[in-house]
């Protein structure tokens, strides 16, 4: 879509609904979504970053539902927002360093020098390690999953590589099994991948997994259709089928 038409669509949505939602698809960094236009009425925008538990449609539902609730209650910001099966969410003030990383459309289209934003945070049952703590300044050491927003990818595999993994791994349990199926695709699971329920599997970037567990750099040198395994995060990786 040409930029001029895109800007017109944004302005039209702001006029009709009070805001527009911009969704930035995942690349080496996780996906994120944010509003443009709420700040014209309520002096803040909303942003949801990471959250591999949810797919794109669910994230868009989350951010639009919360935006609509704020509009309906005339700027009354709730302590928690219950969205049924999607979970219970809280809002926290976003440090400006994160706003400058994520909310580029607000600065550009609304011509703002500073942007106040509230970050959307899910409950613990839906929380994954790709969700940054945006209430404190951005720092690559504190948020390694998001380090590629500020650093170049310097490894011997494509930064567009992806990984099939499970929710337990994304919540912090140790990866114990790694298999490389393509030059740019691995599976990395906590437990036996053959027994992993499909509804527990998510596909994320290789950068996300390396940010969660730096020891997974060993997977970069695994030949096709070969793997690694270990019993726990404290163990050394062992070769499988090679």
Full-model pTM: 0.94
* Per-residue pLDDT tens digits for 138-179: 999 999 999 999 999 999 999 999 999 999 999 999 999 999
Contacts of 133 (CB under 8 A, 6+ apart): 142, 143
Q: How far is CA 78 from CA 69, 70, 71, 82, 90, in A?
A: 9, 8, 12, 10, 8
Q: Who's near 66: CB < 8 A, 6+ residues apart?
A: 46, 81, 83, 89, 91, 120
Q: What is the tens place of the pLDDT at every residue in 71-124?
A: 998 877 888 999 999 999 999 999 999 999 999 999 999 999 999 999 999 999
Q: What is the pLDDT of residues 34-46, one digit of tens each?
A: 999 999 999 999 9
């Amino acid at each position: 879509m040409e930029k001029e038409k895109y800007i017109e669509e944004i302005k039209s949505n702001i006029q009709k609904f009070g805001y527009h939602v911009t969704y930035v698809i995942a690349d080496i960094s996780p996906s994120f979504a944010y509003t443009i236009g709420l700040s014209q009425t309520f002096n803040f925008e909303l942003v949801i970053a990471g959250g591999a538990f949810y797919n794109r449609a669910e994230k868009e539902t989350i951010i639009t539902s919360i935006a609509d609730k704020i509009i309906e209650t005339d700027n009354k910001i709730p302590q928690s927002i219950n969205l049924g099966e999607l979970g219970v969410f809280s809002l926290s003030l976003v440090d400006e360093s994160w706003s400058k990383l994520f909310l580029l459309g607000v600065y550009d289209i609304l011509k703002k020098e500073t942007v106040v934003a509230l970050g959307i945070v899910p409950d613990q049952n839906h929380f994954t390690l790709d969700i940054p703590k945006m209430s404190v300044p951005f720092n690559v050491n504190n948020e390694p999953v998001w380090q590629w927003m500020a650093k170049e990818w310097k490894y011997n595999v494509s930064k567009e590589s992806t990984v099939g993994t499970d929710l337990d791994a994304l919540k912090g349990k140790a990866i114990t099994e790694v298999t490389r199926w393509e030059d740019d695709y691995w599976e990395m699971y906590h437990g036996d991948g053959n027994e992993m329920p499909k509804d527990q599997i998510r596909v994320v970037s290789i950068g996300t997994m390396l940010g969660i567990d730096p020891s997974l750099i060993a997977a970069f040198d695994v030949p096709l259709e070969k793997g690694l395994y270990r019993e726990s995060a404290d163990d050394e990786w062992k070769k499988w089928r090679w």
